[in-house]
A and B are shown apart, each in its own frame.
Chain A
Amino acid sequence: MINILEVNETNKMIEQEKLDVRTITLGISLLDCCDSDLDALNRNIYDKITRLAKDLVSTGREIELEYGIPIVNKRISVTPIALVGGRACRSPEDFVEVAKTLDKAARDTGVNFLGGYSAIVSKGMTPTDEALIRSIPAALSATERVCSSVNIGSTKTGINMDAVKLMGEIVRETAEATKENNSLGCAKLVVLCNAPDDNPFMAGAFHGVSEADAVINVGVSGPGVIKHALEGVRGENFEVLCETVKRTAFKVTRAGQLVAQEASERLGIPFGIVDLSLAPTPSVGDSVAEILEEMGLESVGAPGTTAALALLNDQVKKGGIMASSFVGGLSGAFIPVSEDQGMIDAVNRGALTIEKLEAMTCVCSVGLDMIAIPGDTPASTISGIIADEAAIGMINNKTTAVRLIPVIGKGVGESVEFGGLLGHAPVQQVNRFCCADFINRGGRIPAPIHSFKN
């Protein structure tokens, strides 16, 4: 029998420590929407998304109400559009039309983001892939809710350096295309290496070709809950610290598993995975940086930060893995700068640089995320950063990603406001030495030796 203390603990986690289910993401395959006629393609896509997702938002609200746990976002991910649009889209302009259809479907179903305006080009690019990639700046400036991602490498295939070079330019163009809006378009564009097929978190979410027709994925989050639990074991040794994170992650993930099962049952759509990530928000008390500082660091970025993050990530996975029957996606701790008040403070006090963030990405769950950089940063430098990050993912068999925002018209020392969950960020210094000759070589970096496991 449940007792009053357990009930109070759960409700305290929700009310004071900001435990939430961050997202219910409905993955939808659009492969059966393909058509050689652009209008027919758009119609098929719109009809399928609105048919399957029509009850998504209301069901999310129902579950939220009945269990008393906030479900912050309801979202949709679709098959990478480069695969779906191949027959109908002859030019980047055609792809922009598809993006507008996706945006309309997202608006009409009431979801706040729709991911999957994507191309998977880890080994090579088809002309269709390239057309989609070239359409990204226009697509992201013409739409409000569409998120885009490009997978440019993997442990099995190596890194497609042609795509890396192109993406440096595309990130810049997207920044230019949305400069009236603090280059916000770049916040909806992520460049990945080893992208998982079942990630429910934006901007990198898409519905991979290995997935079923429709599937419910859930992302849970509770940095505040972990931070609070650690406050109770100040000064204790690492064994106690790890055990505390693990136990708390278990409880947090169980809540996510319950919501995932309920959503799946009520919508009649199979349950896919729970992604047990600690995703921060800009509000105070919902920060991954604060967890690391609670472990004993004066500021994130201080020596010891990478070790603390590695420990946190591993214990979150260990605790979560037993709590859910299927764990997937990115699972771990996110370290976006603009979305985490503790990270923003660390940058502002000079404790955290892009180089330290890069080191941290070796052990975090994603990568260089939501980092504002000077608007005059050359495309080749952005490509260089993408290549570095992809190499970390490729060699270490993990997902890595880059979501940089070159804020047009702003320089180091200034700050940029994105609003809502995307937060605000100080513009950070980027290494000013040039890597253009390296990036301009083009071609492909071969897969690493440990990719040959057959």
Chain B
Amino acid sequence: MEKTIITVVGKDAVGIIAKVCTYLADNQVNVEDISQTIVQGYFNMMMIVDTSGSPKPYAGMVTELDELGDAIGVRIRCQREDIFTKMHRI
């Protein structure tokens, strides 16, 4: 199981979640958890996904999600979960 955290931050608009989820479904990435808040008027979403079933190379996914973010006016980051668990869990 290779868990990845996807964060989406930006001005709220219709269809952000739909577009991100469509991309993930197209690439066989399974969504395990979604949490979403509005922080300081900004749309702020975090997804925990499993990329182990995806044929797409990791670097390719990072770049494509970044481009998708540009296209819909939000910032999409895709990072392996370890960086967060290592920093915040002993």
Contact = CB atoms under 8 A, between A and B. Distances in A.
Given A4-B46, A8-B44, A254 B79 contact: no
Contacts of B80: 66-67
Contact of A7 (B36, B46, B58): B46
B18 interface: no
A66 B44 CA distance: 20
Contacts of B59: 62, 65-66
A362 B86 CA distance: 33
In this complex, the interface size class of chain A, counting residues with CB under 8 Å from chain B, is 20 to 34
Interface in A239-274: 251, 254-255, 257-258
Contact of B88 (A2, A11, A62, A68): A2
B81 A2 contact: yes
Contacts of B37: 4
A4 B58 CA distance: 22
Given A7-B7, A258-B83, A2 B48 contact: yes
B35 to A, nearest CB: 5
Nearest to B3: A2
Decide if the interface of chain B is mainly helix, strand, loop or mixed: strand
B88 A67 contact: no
A6 interface: yes
Given A2-B48, A8-B44, A67 B79 contact: yes
Given A2-B5, A65-B62, A258 B81 contact: no
A91 interface: no
A258 B88 CA distance: 12
A2 B86 CA distance: 10
A66 B7 contact: no
Contact of A254 (B44, B48, B77, B86): B86
Contacts of B48: 1-2
Contacts of A255: 83, 86-87
Contacts, number: 61
Decide if the interface of chain A is mainly helix, strand, loop or mixed: helix
Interface string A176-204: 00000000000000000000000000000
Nearest to B79: A68
Contact of B83 (A3, A4, A8, A68): A68
A9 B84 CA distance: 9
B82 interface: yes
Interface string A117-154: 00000000000000000000000000000000000000
B26 interface: no
Nearest to B36: A4
A66 B59 CA distance: 7
Nearest to A61: B59
Contacts of B81: 2
Given A7-B5, A8-B44, A2 B79 contact: no
Contacts of A254: 86-87
Contacts of B78: 68
Contacts of A9: 88
Task: For the complex of A and B, list the 3 residue pairs with the smallest distance between their C-beta atoms, beginning with the closest.
Answer: A68-B79, A4-B46, A67-B83
Given A10-B84, A11-B77, A254-B87, 5 more contacts: A1-B33, A2-B81, A4-B44, A10-B87, A66-B59
